[in-house]
Structure 1
Amino acid sequence: MDMDLHDIVGFLHETARSVGAEFTSPWFYLQVGLILASAGVAFAVNTAVSSRIEAGSLATHWPAPLRLFVRTLVGSAAAAAFAGEMALTRLIMASLTWPSRSYLISVAANLAFAWLIIRLVTSGVRNSFIVRTVSLLAWLVAALSILGKLDQVVAALDSVSITLAGLRLTPLLLINFGVILIIALWLSNIISNFAESRITQSGDLTPSIQVLLVKMIRLGLVIFAVIVAMGAVGINLSALAIFSGAAGVGIGFGLQKIVANFISGIILLVDKSVKPGDIVTIGDSSGRISAMKTRYISVAAGDGREFLIPNEDLVTQKVTNWTYTDKNTLVKVNFTTNYEADPRLVAKLAIKTAKDAERTLKSKPPSCLLTEFADTGVKFSLTFWVSDPGDTDNVKSEVMMALWDVFKREGIQVPYPVREIRVRGGALPVETIVEASS
C-alpha cells in the first residue's frame, strides 16, 4: 500500500487553520446569520409556491423537455430563491466592505447555484436512484472546486493504492469507475428500452424471437457498458485474467442455478416450446404465460395469482402446452339421465345445445356418446371444441346450464342417489325415538 501521509496531514492541518481563522472573525457570525435568514425566507417561498402552483398541471401544452424543465424549476423553488438571495447579499456586502468579509456568503451562493444547475440537468433522468447518486457526487465535486480543495482531495484519494495482478487500485479509480459505469448503464438502458419498443411493434417477429432479441440486446449493452467504463479509467482487460479462474469456481459452486436458468431461458426462446400467451400446465400450476424473464417465466392464473417458475423446470420437467401447435381445445361434459328418457333424443338435444353455445367452435361439430348403462341411469359424454384454452371452464359452465334448461323443458330427469334406511325387528321403542328427537 502506497500512502503519502505527509501530504494528507498537511492538507488537514491547513484546513483546520483556515477554519479556525474564520471562527475568530465577527464577520463569520454575520455571514452565518444572513445565510440562516436567507434559508428561512427560501423555505417560506417554497411553501408559498408549492401551495399555489400545481406542478403536475403546469405547462401542459408546452414541449416535453421545456415542460419538464419548468416543473423541475418550480420543484426547486427553495434552492432558486436561496441562490438568488445569496447572490444579492454578496453584491451588497461587496459594495459596502472588503470582499473577504463576504467569502462565506459567496461560497453559499455558488453551492446553491451548483445544486440548482445539477437538478435542472438531471431532470430528464427517470431513475430516482441514479438522479440522487449523480446529483450528490456532482455537487460534492462542485463544492470542492468552489472551496479550492478539489486538487488536494484528488491527490489524497490517488495516494492510497492496492496492487492486484499488476492493477493499481485507488479510491479515485473506483469512484471514477462507479460514476462512469452508472452513466454508461443508464445510457444502455435508454437504448435497450428504445430497441425493445421497436421490436415489440414489429409484426413480423414471433413473441419468442422478440423476447430473445430484447434479452440479447440488453445483455450485450450491459457488457459493452462495463467494458467502456473499464477502458475509460484505464483498466486493462488483460489484467483481469487472474480473476477468470475465481469466477469459474464461483459459477460452478454458487451460481450454477442462476446460470442454468439463464441458459434454459435461451433454449426455451430458441426452440419455441413455450412463448408468451401460451396456456401451460407445469406440475400443479396452470395458467397463461404473461412474461419470460432471464431467470424465470411468469404464469398468470385466472384468480389473480402469478406463478414464477424457474426456466430450468421447463427444460427438465413435463410441461403441458395447450397452445403449442393448435389453440383449439376439446372440452368434455359427462352427465347421466334416467332410463325413462329416449337416449337418441338426449344425444340430439345435447349436440344441439353445445352447437348453439356462443363460444363453442363451429368448424368442429360436437358429439355425444352413450358410454354406460349404470345402476343410477344412462351415462353420456358430450364433447365440443373451444378456440381459447383459457375459456374452457366458462364455456363448459354455459353448456351445462343450457343442458339443465333443455332437460327441464323436455321432462328429462337427471337421477340422484336416494338412500332408504330399513330397521329390522320391528319399530324402535318410544323412549328411543324421543331421545333421538331431543
Structure 2
Amino acid sequence: MSPDPFADFVASLQAFIAGGLNLAHSLMQPGWRQYQIIILILVAVLSWGLHHMSSNWVQSWVRSQEGWAKWQLRMIVQIKRRLGLIWFVLISGAIYLVMQNITWPSRSYLIGIFSTLAAIWVCIAFATRLVRNRPMRRLVTWALWIYATLNSLNLVDDVSVFLDSLAVTIGEFRLSALTVLTAVVAIGLLFAIARIVSQTTAATIRKNEDISPSMQVLAVKGVQITLYGIAFFVGVKSVGIDLTGLAVLSGAIGVGLGFGLQKVVSNLVSGVIILLDKSIKPGDVISLGETFGWIQTLGARYASVVTRDGKEYLIPNEDLITGQVVNWSHSDDFVRLDIYFGTAYDDDPHLVRKLAVDACQGVNRVLQGRAPVCHIVGFGDSSVDYILRFWIRDPTGGLTNIRGNVYLALWDTFKENGISIPFPQREVKMLPDSQLALHRAKRDES
C-alpha cells in the first residue's frame, strides 16, 4: 500500500476525470462512440414509452385477477415501478448482442456497459426487498449500486484504498470508513437471510399442533433472537472487527441500562415467565380489572388484549404476573354464568323454576350437556328472588350478549305463562286534618 493513499486516490480521480473529458470530447466528433450514445438515448426514450404502455396493461390485468397473496401483489408493484428500466435492459442487451456479432466489439462496448449496469441495478432493486427495515434497505441499495458502478468502471481498488485511509485508531483498535460500509452491507444482507429463515421456521412451528400456543410464541422468539444475533456477530466478524475491545464498554453500558430500564427488563422477564408457565396464551379470554377481552398477541414487553368493542389494550407483562387475572379459558373453555331475577309472591315457584330452565335451554350457545339450574335465593321485599345458572363453551363470543338473550327468553316465557315480574311499590297514607295540624305544630316547636 502506498504511504499516502489519499494522494493515490486523487491521482486516480484526476486520471478518471481526464479520461471522462477525453471521452466527452470524442463523443462530440462523429464516430461509433457518438453513434452508441445516440442509440442509448433512443433506447431510453423507447423504454420510457413502453413503460407507460405496459404499466397500464399490467394494472388492468392485475385488477382482473382475484385471490392473489400479498407478496405477489407487492412483487407486481415493484415490477410495475421498474418496467422502464427492465425494457431498457432487454432492448439494449439485444442490440449489444446483435452488434457484437455483426460488427467490431469496440463499436458496442458503451452499450454493453450501460446495459450491464442497468441489469445489475434491476437485480439489486429486487434483491434488497428482502431487507424489511426501510432505512437499512435504502442504505444497502445505494451501497450495492455504488459498488456495481465503480466495479464496472474499474475504480473499486482506488476507492477502497481511499476509504480505508479514513480511519480512527484507538490503541490496537482501528476502524475505517471502508470497514463500516462493508459491515453495514454484510449485516444488512445477513439480516435479510435471517429474516427469511426465521419466517420459514416460524411458519413450520405454528403449523405443529403438538406445541401449545404459548410455547410456539416462545420458540419463534427464541429462533428470531438466535438468528439475528448470529447474523450480527458473523457480519461484524466477517469484516475483521474485533469485539474483544468492546467487552468492557458493553458491560458498563449494560449496568447503566439495567438501572435505567428496570421496568423494561421486568416486562421482558415477565413475558418469558408467561410463555413458560402457559398461564396465558394467545386466544385466551381474560379479565383484568375492567378490561375484558381475548389475548391477540403476546409480545416481548406487553400483551395485546382486544375487547368486544374493538378496543386494543396493550397490557404490560408485569401486570399480568403481579395482578389478579381472570382467565376464562385457562384449563378448558367451559364457563358458567349466573343471572338473577324475581317473580311475584302469587306465582308458583315450582312452575317458575321449570319455565326458567326451559327458556334457558332454548337459547343458542347454552350447553345442553350441562343442564341449566334455577334456585330460590331469598324472599325479597316485593319478589321471590331466583338465580339461574347455565354453561357456555365459547367465551370469545361475548358474555353480555348471551346474558341478554337469556333475559329476553325469560321475559317471553313469563309473558306467555302469566308470570309477573314485580317492581318496588310505595304506599302514600293521607292523614286526617286533626292529625295533620298536630303534626305541623310539633314540627314548628322543633
TM-score, scaled to structure 1: 0.82
Match of 2:440 in 1: none
Could you tell me which amino acid in structure 1 is paired with residue 415 of structure 2? K
Question: 2:10 is matched by which residue type in structure 1?
Answer: V
Q: Judging changes above 3 Å, is the alpha-carbon distance between structure 1 residues 11 and 285 closer, same or farther for their aligned structure 2 residues? A: farther
CA offset digits 1:192-246 (Å, max 9, x no partner):
2222122112222211111111111111111111121122112233232122223
- Aligned partner of 1:414 in structure 2 is 421
2:136 maps to 1:140: no
Residue number in structure 1 paired with 2:402: 395
Aligned positions of 1:8-407 closer than 5 A = 8-25=9-26, 26-27=28-29, 34-53=39-58, 56=62, 76-86=82-92, 88=95, 99=106, 105=111, 107-119=113-125, 122=127, 125=130, 127=132, 129=134, 133-164=139-170, 166-390=172-396, 391-407=398-414
Deviation string, structure 1 residues 400-432 (Cα, Å, up to 9, x no partner): 111111110111112235678899999xxxxxx
1:173 Cα deviation after fit: 0.9
Contact 1:351 1:368 in 2 (8 A): yes
Amino acid at match of 1:416: F
User: What is the identity, as a one-letter code, of the residue corresponding to 1:351?
Assistant: V
The residue number in structure 1 matching 2:442 is none
Deviation for aligned residue 1:143:
0.7
Kindly, what percent of the aligned residue pairs are identical?
A: 32
AA in 1 matched with 2:381: D
For residue 399 of structure 2, give the secondary structure of its aligned residue in structure 1.
helix
Output the amino acid matched with 1:218: Q
Contact 2:182 2:239 in 1 (8 A): yes
Q: What is the number of residues matched between the two proteins?
A: 419
Please give the secondary structure, in 2, of the residue aligned with 1:142. Answer: helix
CA distance in 1, matches of 2:65, 2:106: 41
Give the CA deviation at 1:31.
6.2
5+ residue gaps, structure 2, are 67-72, 434-446
Query: Contact 1:165/1:242 (CA < 8 Å) preserved in 2?
Result: no
The answer on whether the counterparts of 2:137 and 2:188 sit within 8 Å (CA) in structure 1 is no
From the superposition, tell whether residues 383 and 80 of structure 1 become closer, same or farther in structure 2 (CA, over 3 Å).
Answer: closer
Query: Residue 39 of structure 1 contacts residue 82 of structure 1 at CA under 8 Å; is this kept in 2?
Result: yes
CA RMSD of aligned residues (A): 3.9
Residue 163 of structure 1 deviates from its aligned partner by: 2.5
2:444 corresponds in structure 1 to: none
1:327–1:387 contact (8 Å) kept in structure 2: yes
CA separation in 2, counterparts of 1:405 and 1:317? 41
Distance in 2 between the 1:235 and 1:164 partners?
13
Structure 1 residues 31 and 257: CA distance shift in structure 2, 3 A: farther
Q: Distance in 1 between matches of 2:50 and 2:146?
A: 26
- Measure, in 2, the Cα distance between the counterparts of 1:258 and 1:160: 38
CA distance in 2, matches of 1:382, 1:410: 18
Tell me how far apart the structure 2 counterparts of residues 307 and 91 of structure 1 sit (CA, whole Å).
65
Secondary structure of 1:156 counterpart:
helix
Does the 8 Å contact 1:68/1:123 carry over to 2?
no
Post-superposition shift, 1:352? 2.5
**In the aligned structure 2, how far is the partner of 1:131 from the partner of 1:244?**
27
Structure 1: gaps (5+ residues): 61-66, 427-438
SS of the residue corresponding to residue 332 of structure 1 reads: strand
Question: What one-letter code is carried by the residue in structure 2 that aligns with 1:112?
Answer: A
Q: 1:355 touches 1:365 (CA, 8 Å); kept in 2?
A: yes
Q: Is the 1:3–1:160 contact (alpha carbons within 8 Å) kept by the matching residues of 2?
A: no
| CA distance in structure 2 between the partners assigned to 1:394 and 1:338 by the alignment | 26
Amino acid across the alignment from 1:398: N
Cα deviation code 1:5-31 (max 9, x no counterpart): 423433443344334444444148876
Give the Cα separation in 2 of the matches to 1:345 and 1:333. 18
Deviation at 1:260, TM superposition (A): 2.1
- Residue 136 (structure 1) shift: 3.4
Which residue does the alignment assign to 1:64?
none
